[in-house]
Homo-oligomer: A and B are copies of this chain.
């Protein structure tokens, strides 16, 4: 029996049916309407989420200028949360909302720690994930500093091929760290 989360974990740690069912029992399913918030600035962040369906954006709002910087999109097969608030049990400094009707699986910090403590395989999975996440973030930082806007856009297309015509260009611009006008002028030629 195939499950998105199972495939996702098994890409790193193969599991028996029982093991996967046991893991899955620690998650709760949430169904969300477009425009609803999964995480909101100032609130505690009880869950870390695995996206099953839909599309979300995680962003930081600059209260002075009224602008926002999208640091991550959450689509099928991606994890999303306010990492700092989740792990430190502090209040969120970011917002996550749905660009489309979405379905996510949430796990609490307690359940996460329980699984990590009980299952070597899950522990290995999260350790590998943390590393890969760190590495890809580092690459993004590098691209942001050394790459032109065009480089960044091309990289984006590779990373999120389905998103280009699925979400407003202004969100992509925000993710790339440029104004929507500059992005718009990029693909005139």
Contacts and interface: CB of A to CB of B under 8 A. Distances in A.
Interface of A: 60, 62, 67, 69, 71, 83-84, 87, 116, 123, 126-127, 130-131, 133-135, 137-138, 140-142, 144-146, 177
B146 A69 contact: yes
A131 B69 contact: no
B83 A146 contact: no
Contacts of A62: 146
A145 B144 contact: yes
Contacts of A142: 60, 69, 71
A71 B67 CA distance: 26
Contacts of A126: 127
B137 A177 contact: no
A84 B126 CA distance: 16
B141 A87 contact: no
Contacts of A145: 69, 71, 144, 177
A4 B81 CA distance: 34
A133 B141 CA distance: 14
24 contacts: A60-B142, A60-B146, A62-B146, A69-B142, A69-B145, A69-B146, A71-B141, A71-B142, A83-B134, A83-B135, A84-B138, A87-B135, A116-B127, A123-B123, A126-B127, A127-B130, A130-B130, A130-B131, A130-B134, A134-B134, A140-B141, A141-B141, A141-B144, A144-B145
